[in-house]
């Protein structure tokens, strides 16, 4: 793949990288560093992209793996970003109660572990269990089990905020 073709694909799918950066880095400078690291890893790995999956799926996998390993390697624990409307898009709320419920859900998702946050983000992006499993290196059945546990955690976290 040529550099121009790579940059064109990144331009079309950069929102994926921004979502991951917003989820895993609270500080704007940290988000920029993570964005650059994801781009570097994507460029290094693009020669291995065989087109077996969509480019966006491959890019999600690279971005998530880079974000998770970036912060595992870091000796200093960086605070996680709180989720806002740029991280995950829900349909527009029609009432204050719905807006409060959405805000509570954002906060609850923000309190999850790195892996659980990645899993729920992919689920909310409508990826199927098999694809999520491939991206995170777990089986589709394990994805289903983890999603059920995460949903339970989210219910409890939202109840505590109410």
Instruction: For residues 134-155, give the mean pLDDT.
Output: 89
pLDDT at residue 76 in the model: 46
58 near 49, Cβ under 8 Å?
yes
How far is it, in rounded angstroms, from Cα 88 to Cα 84? 7
CB count in 10 Å sphere of residue 160 = 11
Of residues 127 and 85, the one with the higher pLDDT is 127
Across all residues in the chain, what is the average pLDDT?
81
Of residues 38 and 78, the one with the higher pLDDT is 38
pLDDT-derived band at 82 (thresholds 50, 70, 90) equals low
pLDDT-derived band at 78 (thresholds 50, 70, 90) equals very low
Of residues 135 and 147, the one with the higher pLDDT is 147
pLDDT at residue 131 in the model: 85
The share of the chain scoring above pLDDT 90, in percent, equals: 20
Q: How many residues does the chain have?
A: 162
Instruction: For residues 3-25, give the mean pLDDT.
Output: 87
Give exposure, 82-100, as e/b (b: 16+ Cβ within 10 Å).
ebeeebbeeeeeeeeeeee
Please name each of the domains of the chain with its CATH number: 8-81 (1.10.1740.10), 91-162 (1.10.10)
pLDDT at residue 77 in the model: 47
Residue 84 dihedral angles phi and psi, to the nearest 5°: -130, -175
Question: Which tokens sit at 73?
Answer: 């390697």
pLDDT-derived band at 74 (thresholds 50, 70, 90) equals low
Q: For residue 129, is pLDDT > 70?
A: yes
Q: For residue 110, is pLDDT > 60?
A: yes
Q: ∠ at Cα 133 (73, 85), nearest 5°?
A: 70
The 3 state secondary structure assigned to the chain is CCHHHHHHHHHHHHHHHHHHHHHHCCCHHHHHHHHHHHHHHHHHHHHHCCCCCCHHHHHHHHHHHHHHHHHHHCCCCCCCCCCCCCCCCCCCCCCHHHHHHHHHHHHHHHCCCHHHHHHHHHHHCCCCHHHHHHHHCCCHHHHHHHHHHHHHHHHHHHHHHC
């Amino acid at each position: 793949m040529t550099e121009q073709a790579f940059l064109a694909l990144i331009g079309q799918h950069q929102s994926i990288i921004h979502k991951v950066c917003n989820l895993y880095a609270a500080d704007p400078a940290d988000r920029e560093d993570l964005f650059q690291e994801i781009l570097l890893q994507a460029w290094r790995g693009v020669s291995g992209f065989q087109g077996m999956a969509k480019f966006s799926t491959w890019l999600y996998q690279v971005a998530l793996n880079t974000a998770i390993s970036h912060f595992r390697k870091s000796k200093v624990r960086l605070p996680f970003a709180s989720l806002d409307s740029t991280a995950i898009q829900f349909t527009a709320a029609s009432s204050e109660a719905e807006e409060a419920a959405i805000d509570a859900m954002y906060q609850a998702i923000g309190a999850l572990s790195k892996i659980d946050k990645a899993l729920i983000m992919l689920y909310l992006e409508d990826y199927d269990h098999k694809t999520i499993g491939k991206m995170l290196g777990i089986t589709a059945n394990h994805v289903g089990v983890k999603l059920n546990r995460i949903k339970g955690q989210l219910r409890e976290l939202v109840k505590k905020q109410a």
